[in-house]
Structure 1
Amino acid sequence: MIDAAIFDKDGTLFDFRATWGGWTARAIDQLAGFGADRAGLARRLGYDVAAAAFAKDSPVIASTTPELVDIMHEFVPDMGKGQLLDILSDLSEEAPQAEAAPLRLVFEGLRARGLKLGLATNDTEAPARAHLAGAGVLELFDFVAGCDSGWGGKPAPGQLLAFAARVGVDPARAVMVGDSLHDLHAGRAAGMRCVAVLTGIAEAHELAPHADVVLPDISHLAAWIDAQSGR
């Protein structure tokens, strides 16, 4: 029986390439205005601007925002890390989000099944709430945590365990849904079942050994949950 589900955001609720390709290009452009080496920064971020494509090992995929600040700061050494964090967070909050599935329909369906819903992202909390609100689904969530919410970031399980405690659900009766190994490792560490989706950068063969199931996107989740419950 599954009583709760906690979701990653980028690459899970929102298509990673469509959303964060634009964010990365804008960040590179803005920091170039502060003297950053545009080509060097793009290489460090594993982003091909011309092709609008991420390398498999791009730190943008799974790093927390403070981790990206540490990575990018060497390219703008005269800028304080606090200012850089503010710039990246503002760009994140403004980034247009491309839904990976019809989010309102998906989450209303899960709520109708009695599930508690949470979000755990390595983005900061304010942009995460803005993105959920922009998609019209924020009020459907019982819990929203960013890397700055006090429970750390993934692949550590702090956000997931905080969610389970908040909604009063045994982690063994919850599922973590994400598109990256960071998500799945966090889910396993929290004692949750793990569902991988293919709306991020990672491919099925990379995710399958660490997941209970690999789905095309989150619109297939309700049927899988029903199957686990014998519905």
Structure 2
Amino acid sequence: MRTARAVDGVLFDKDGTLFDFSATWDVWADGLLRDLSQGDAARLYALAAAAGYDLENRRFHRHSRVIAGTNREAAECLAPVLEGWTLEEIEARLMVSSAKAPLRPAVPLPPLLDALAALDLRLGVMTNDTEYGARAHLRSAGVEHRFHFIAGFDSGYGAKPAPGPLLAFARSQTLDPSRVVMVGDSRHDLIAGRAAGMACIGVLTGPARAEDLADLADAVLPDIGHLPDWIAGVTG
């Protein structure tokens, strides 16, 4: 039987939270856009503009729709430039390509997750990426088996900022949502957490700045490595 505590579960976003956003996705996007452009400079710049990507500095603009959007939403951004491609073909290309992205964990993940598991916490991941991509990334990082729940926008629970997928995690682990912490790097993550009645932690390993997250977060941390200390503080 679980002992009484303020936190019984932690649900993580993936990109910008478990994995450093810029070191992973800015690098991936540059290669993807150049590949899709097939050497056509005009198409390359049109694709970058559609994705909200700065080619000169090789990074996403902070307010790019792609950053917190679903795989489908990213495909919809690129579709007007990719004449002759169906939306489904673009989605499939993004899914397969992103599963091979050059991952950079925000912190060493195995020791952090083991420390949280030692506190008898249930651990989950909910991302607006595909479940295929999420599992591929977590497997590559050697931590897939450390999570009790893994979902993408296509797993049947919906996508953030709706609370449905967060509540699905709580139901699957028989947890009171008020005793779950949602950890993410975007307003989408924290809006979903608030709507689900969860505590919300923002982290600064994505494009958002502290002031972008502060009004929705119980705390804004430099990265997820600070999470055990925060949990210790709220549980006494």
Q: Report TM bin, short chain.
A: over 0.9
Q: What is the aligned-residue identity percentage?
A: 49
Structure 1 spans left out of the alignment, 5+ residues: none
CA shift for structure 1 position 222: 0.6
The answer to whether structure 1 residue 58 and structure 2 residue 64 are counterparts is yes
Superposed CA offset, 1:138-162 (max 9, x none): 1110000001100111101111000
CA contact (8 A) 1:4 1:173 kept: yes
| Aligned pair partner of 2:33 in 6, 20, 28 | 28
CA contact (8 A) 1:171 1:192 kept: yes
CA shift for structure 1 position 102: 0.9
Query: Aligned partner of 2:19: which letter?
Result: F
Q: Equivalent residue for 1:109?
A: 115
CA distance in 2, matches of 1:59, 1:19: 17
Paired residues in the alignment total 230
The answer to whether structure 1 residue 94 and structure 2 residue 105 are counterparts is no
CA contact (8 A) 2:66 2:73 kept: no
Moved more, 168-177 or 22-31: 22-31
Structure 2 spans left out of the alignment, 5+ residues: 1-5
The answer to whether structure 1 residue 13 and structure 2 residue 30 are counterparts is no
Secondary structure of 1:209's counterpart equals coil
| Aligned pair partner of 2:74 in 68, 81, 97 | 68
CA contact (8 A) 2:180 2:199 kept: yes
CA distance in 1, matches of 2:76, 2:67: 15
Secondary structure of 2:79's counterpart equals helix
CA shift for structure 1 position 96: 1.2
CA shift for structure 1 position 34: 9.3
CA distance in 2, matches of 1:62, 1:104: 25
Runs of 4 or more consecutive aligned structure 1 residues displaced over 3 Å after TM superposition: none
| Aligned pair partner of 1:85 in 87, 91, 113 | 91
The answer to whether structure 1 residue 142 and structure 2 residue 148 are counterparts is yes
Query: Aligned partner of 1:58: which letter?
Result: S
Q: Equivalent residue for 2:50?
A: 44
Query: Aligned partner of 1:14: which letter?
Result: F
Q: 1:163 to 1:34 in 2, by over 3 A?
A: farther
Q: Equivalent residue for 2:199?
A: 193
CA contact (8 A) 2:27 2:59 kept: no
Query: Aligned partner of 2:30: which letter?
Result: A
CA distance in 1, matches of 2:169, 2:234: 21
Q: Equivalent residue for 1:184?
A: 190
CA distance in 1, matches of 2:83, 2:197: 41
CA contact (8 A) 1:34 1:76 kept: no
Computed over aligned residues only, the root mean square deviation of the Cα atoms, in angstroms, reads 1.2
CA distance in 1, matches of 2:82, 2:72: 15
CA distance in 1, matches of 2:35, 2:71: 16
CA distance in 2, matches of 1:171, 1:141: 17
CA distance in 2, matches of 1:155, 1:23: 24
Superposed CA offset, 1:151-197 (max 9, x none): 11110111100000000000000000000000000000111000000
Q: TM-score, normalised by structure 1?
A: 0.97
Q: TM-score, normalised by structure 2?
A: 0.95
Secondary structure of 2:125's counterpart equals strand
Secondary structure of 2:26's counterpart equals helix
